[in-house]
Structure 1
Amino acid sequence: MAQVTVVAELEAVANQVSQRPDAVAVTFQGETISYRELWERAGRVADHARSLGATTAGVHLERSIDLVVAVVGLLRAECAAVPLDVGYPVERLRFMCADAGVRVAIGHEAPLARLGGFSAVARDGLMVWAVDESVPAQETEAELAYVVYTSGSTGRPKGVRYAHHNLANLIAWQSDTSSCGAGDRTLQFAPSSFDIIYQEVLTTLGEGGTVVCCTEDERLDPQELWDLIESERVNRIFVPFVMIQSLALFVEDVSPATHPLREILTAGEQVQASDRIRALFTRLPDCRLVNQWGTTESHVSTSYELPADVSSWDDLPSIGAPIRDTRVLVCDDDGRPVPDGEIGELWVAGAAVGPGYLGLPERTAQSYVPDPQHPGEPAYRTGDLGRVRSDGLLEFLGRQDTQVKVRGFRIELGEIETVLNSDPAVAQAVVSVAGATAEERYLRAYVVPKALADDDLPAALLATLRERLPAYMVPTGIEVVASLPRTASGKIDRLALRSV
């Protein structure tokens, strides 16, 4: 196969196409495509994008092999993808299209019809290319790989730009540090709107592995997910920590022989090494838990592989050390790095830092600032608090703008949640702060029971908390709920807890 010039993050994939063209690249519900077929179909996506003059394209595809093909194809075309999650409300999707100037979209027919405004101009199998003629054609930065929308503090979603060189650095680092390789199988779990999809797809294909797609039902149901891991012989998953907690509830039939997982990678939420989480990894001694930290603006910035000996785990594990060509600084309010051991805001610098927000120059200037150690380079102020531990690893201490301080005491909510989640009667637990003013602030816990809860469960849990924690860390009440609200990416929606 002729050598093809491709963007840096696809070079390893192109090499695999040359070396193992007939190997299975992607599978979904019994359908498989080879590396050769993937590359050919992605090439047709790239050709369509170029013929339509698209420098930005909306991606409105349901979970499928088509979605993986589109991810690769738009990168081949050097056309920035704007993921339009089919599960999002139409109003939000239309805002995103207008904000990003999406004139061209690739999608499945039913979602595109619901979105409205787009007229089909070409088809490739079940994929439809559509154009919104009311949107003028426009140029996009050549370096832009994708634009992912994240919730804004003002209620206005923000388009976060990420460049090819940012993505190439991440994928090369992930491939080099992973225990998976050629022939191994990785679950495509993340929604299209979540940047982790690039990590799942490009790392796996660059290693010569197989991307295993799942249905939305399999993604949301931990028992179905375990069944899929078993039937598809999945070796690696990238999942939010809340899903690891859910998986840990259904481990009775899990073993290395039936579930050949070697890596579970998580990001976006603080890992809590409860007894149940330790029990899960005790049942899977060949599987490692990898705690990654970053923001949408910097994707993955740090990583920490927890030791094989689960008894040595901290209750709230470290977020580790920066990835390749990336620096993480702990800074005071004036942007000056603080000594090791002191708490400050985590700033990210180096190859992980993207070019900023789309169409929001003032917000970009506030968050993307000169690196205090290398003033000619940008750093991203994450708003997360942390410190460097005595062993040189980074410790995550929560959000700066939601810093938990109750009655003068600084409190780490994860420590309380770890105790609650270790109780055998609890499936999931979250602690939040209520009260409008500093004087009125108090802690409240929300608990999803493992089985039908009796009326005594809140009192029993409070008694356990009083035995293990200082009085100021014990919530004033525990509310038993059927489920916890989630964001689109699967994380706990802590803001929505106020209305539970």
Structure 2
Amino acid sequence: MTEVPSVAHGDGIRPLAAGDDVISRYSRWVRETPDAVAVEDGEHRFTYREIDGIADAVAERLRDRVTSGDIVAVCLDRSAALVAIAVALARLGAVYLPLGPAPGEDRLAGLLTDVRIRAVIGAPDTLPGSGSALGLPVPAVGANAVPHVLAELVPPNPGAASAPPGTLYAVLTSGSTGKPKAVAVGAASLANLVRWYHDLSDLGPGDRMALIMAAPFDPHLGDLWGGLAYGATLAVAPDSARYSTDALVDWFRTARVDVSVLATPMAEPLLGRAWPGGLRLRDLLIGGDRLRTWPGPDVTTRVHNVYGPAEATINVTSALLGEADRTSPPIGGPIPGVTLCVVDEDDRIVPRGTAGELLIGGVCLALGYVDEEMTARRFVQAPEGSGLERVYRTGDKVRMGDDGLLDFLGRLDDQVKISGVRIEPAEVEAALERHPEVRRAVVAVRRSRDGATGLVAFVEPAPGSAPDPDGLLQGTRSAVPAQAVPQEVHLVERFPLNENGKVDRAALLASVPSPGAERAEELRGETEELLAALWRDVLGTADVHARSNLYALGGNSMHAVALAGAIKRTFELELSMKSVMELRVLRDMAAAIDAERVALAASEVSRTATVTDW
């Protein structure tokens, strides 16, 4: 019997024609349906005419200061302001680089050193302060809006790298060196992606597309331009909908969302419960992590499991999920404009059914990194028999079935060596998930102070179950090598997520005691005493001290939402849920509250820039 090679081509490849780019498609709706709602943020609505007027005003303010090919870092969250600025930068031919509302001072400084950024846009306290600033006339209303938005023109570092010609947007992705990599994507690649969104869901005028993915995470660009390019309304989700399943369901109902993209850890709790009634949700796209949960028979929404790295423009595969017909949901086959091939260690295409590294090619490919040397390492000559010239090496281990669908098996670089044996955490996770009382498992690598390496497992129980951690450990002993048996198993109510919607393994490890952990310390001062009382009330525990860790006491993202609200009522100041989740330790949280109180009491330092109020 002839072996079939692990190569699959997406059907319906259509070259980008004049007027197919996202800004041209968006401009069509400005002309044809100017009074249709383009952005809805709670009670605030902005028509296509209004968004376009704001974008024109921003572009005019930046004109002659920001030109075609210039990289502009945008430090804002999902909002009408973010949408208008994205449109303005596309009009100018500038490169949109989303960093989110809190990029971090050190991270931004490092980025300015490595990447030739012309301007940074954001709230005054997020800007680097090294150049001149001007106010931008954007809305200051909405869940994530800031009172004033400035554009700071920064002096370029002569040694910094520029974006490749033709870049529409750039997005940061994590790097193995610990430094983020800036991926540059062109207009044709994004146009191909949003056209597929439209074909998949029939997204168009009158529909409502969720703008829910975190701004630094590239799927938000698919949401933003997927809606605007086809005349739909972008519905801005409140933060609570990103961290609470109940809040998400309520928002889906009230916002009357038709199409949404969700990160896998956000979607799995939704799929794991009785499907809620009263939803308009027509299509739900899930991606960003390995999906373990199949939709139940009561699910009335079309559920698509999607996959794609930033280097291949957000999504390259899709699987419409029905009844479970294999161990875990596949990540699917190629979308139009995409070719997939699976290769061995010598870059030879393997037969279907054989595991290997996934390579991606086609119109979906990014232009490269904002670093020519790194581009040359990861965007390489295609293997013989692929029908391609250039491919991206994903580093992902997959297997292509006889049906052409891919199963995701883990990361090749996730392997860790323990006592001389190479271990794949994904294999240990799969062993734990075979237990009927386990909904999902995450295995993290913990390194002790003396350099020893071990695995720690975190398990989310199946509904109504309370598995015994010792029993789970015992069960893995017959399924994996002795070196791969976790040192500990901890039960969690929900997995903490990072800003990109992926499981935060560092937060999980921080939530459990480690060798040499500090002993309990007494509370000091009024702030720590008041905060400890809030912790006891929200977490339902009396065992709270100055060094208590929110996650170690069983806290999760929903507790963080409640705690942020309690802090606002008690101290009359805002400490974001993200800050609550990142600070974790009671004493650190109290110090942040005290610092915020001092800042509020101090007089605001006037800036030299003129700020235009909306």
Question: TM-score when scaled to structure 2?
Answer: 0.69
2:316 to 302, 317, 332: 302
Secondary structure at the counterpart of residue 227 of structure 2:
helix
- Which secondary structure state, in structure 2, belongs to the residue aligned with residue 316 of structure 1? coil
Do structure 1's residue 14 and structure 2's residue 27 form an aligned pair?
A: yes
| 1:482, distance to aligned residue in structure 2 (A) | 6.5
Which of these residues, 347, 350, 360, is aligned with residue 359 of structure 2?
347
CA–CA separation in structure 1 for the residues paired with 2:455 and 2:113 = 40
2:300 paired with 1:271: no
Alignment partner of 1:226 is 2:249? yes
SS at match of 1:200: helix
Question: Which runs of 5 or more structure 1 residues have no equivalent in the other structure?
Answer: none
Higher alpha-carbon deviation: 70-79 or 136-145: 136-145
Give 1:446 deviation, angstroms. 0.7
* RMSD value, Cα: 3.3
Q: In structure 2, what is the Cα distance between the partners aligned to 1:175 and 1:194?
A: 21
Question: Are 2:383 and 1:372 equivalent residues in the alignment?
Answer: yes
For the pair 1:486 / 2:497, whether they are aligned, the reply is yes
1:70 counterpart = 2:61: no
Amino acid at match of 2:468: L
Residues 404, 412 of structure 1: 8 Å contact kept: no
Query: Alignment partner for residue 343 of structure 2, among 331, 340, 359?
Result: 331
Contact 2:19 2:25 in 1 (8 A): no
Distance 1:328 1:481 in 2: 36
Deviations 1:88-123 (A, max 9, x none): 3221122223322223222234444xx433542233
Find out whether 1:101 has 2:116 as its counterpart.
yes
Distance 1:340 1:253 in 2: 36
Cα deviation 1:367-415 (Å, max 9, x = unaligned): 1111124798321100011122011222221111124798688763453
Deviations 1:287-337 (A, max 9, x none): 1211111112113353233344x2x34332221111222111111222221
Structure 2 vs 1, CA of residues 494 and 466 (structure 1 numbering), >3 Å: closer, same or farther? closer
Partner of 1:291: 305
Q: What percent identity do the matched residue pairs reach?
A: 31
Instruction: Give the drift of 1:229.
Output: 0.7
1:334–1:83 CA distance, 2 compared to 1 (3 A):
same
| Cα gap change, 1:341 to 1:223, in 2 (>3 Å) | same
Aligned counterpart, 2:564: none
1:261 alignment partner in structure 2: 281
Tell me: CA distance 1:72–1:474, structure 2 relative to 1, closer, same or farther (3 Å).
same
Contact 2:26 2:228 in 1 (8 A): yes
The answer to whether the 8 A contact 1:301-1:328 is kept is: no
Equivalents in 2 of 1:365, 1:470: separation in Å? 40
Distance 1:56 1:36, change over 3 A: same
Of residues 159-168 and 478-487 in structure 1, the stretch that sits farther from structure 2 once superposed is 478-487
Question: In structure 2, what is the Cα distance between the partners aligned to 1:388 and 1:457?
Answer: 35
In structure 2, C-alpha distance between the alignment counterparts of 1:53 and 1:300, rounded to whole Å: 27
Once the two structures are TM-superposed, the CA of residue 491 in structure 1 deviates from its matched residue by 0.3
Name the TM-score, length of structure 1 as normaliser: 0.84
| Match of residue 588 from structure 2 | none
Matched, 1:84 2:81: no
The 1:491–1:140 alpha-carbon spacing in structure 2 relative to 1, beyond 3 Å, is closer
Partner of 1:135: 156
Q: Aligned with 1:149: secondary structure?
A: strand
- 1:119-157 deviation digits (Å, cap 9, x = unpaired): 422330446342344336997544111121122111111
One-letter amino acid matched to 1:317: P
Which structure is higher in RCO with an 8 Å CA cutoff and minimum separation 6?
Answer: 2
1:220-264 Cα offsets, whole Å, 9 max, x none, are 222212111111111221111101123346x45811xx2221211
How far is 1:188 from its partner? 0.7
Give the one of 319, 323, 326 matched to 2:331. Answer: 319
Cα distance in 1 for residues equivalent to 2:389 and 2:509: 40
Inter-partner Cα distance in structure 2 for 1:385 and 1:449: 27
Correspondent of 1:156 among 179, 185, 189: 179
Does the Cα contact within 8 Å between 1:290 and 1:305 map onto a contact in 2? yes
User: Which amino acid letter does the alignment assign opposite residue 295 of structure 2?
Assistant: R
Aligned match of 2:10? none
- Aligned residue pair count: 473
**Within 1, Cα distance between the matches of 2:99 and 2:40?**
22
Aligned-pair distance for 1:432?
4.1
2:63 maps to what in 1? Answer: 50
Matched, 1:214 2:228: no
Q: Partners of 1:488 and 1:416 in 2: how far apart?
A: 28
Q: Which residue type is aligned with residue 112 of structure 2?
A: C
Q: What SS class does the counterpart of residue 51 from structure 1 fall into?
A: coil
Q: 1:223 to 1:326 in 2, by over 3 A?
A: same
Letter in 2 for 1:299: T
Q: Which amino acid in the other structure matches residue 402 of structure 1? A: D
Q: How far has the Cα of 1:443 moved from its partner?
A: 5.5
Partner secondary structure for residue 73 of structure 2: strand
- The equivalent of 2:135 in structure 1 is 122
What is the rounded CA distance, in whole Å, between the counterparts of 2:493 and 2:105 in structure 1?
27
Aligned counterpart, 1:430:
442
CA distance in 1, matches of 2:189, 2:65: 26
| Runs of at least 5 residues in structure 2 that lack an aligned partner in the other structure | 1-17, 141-147, 512-614
Cα deviation 1:418-445 (Å, max 9, x = unaligned): 446x63xx67531346689xxx987542
Q: Is 1:402 aligned to residue 411 of structure 2?
A: no
Task: Classify the secondary structure of the residue corresponding to 1:207.
Answer: coil
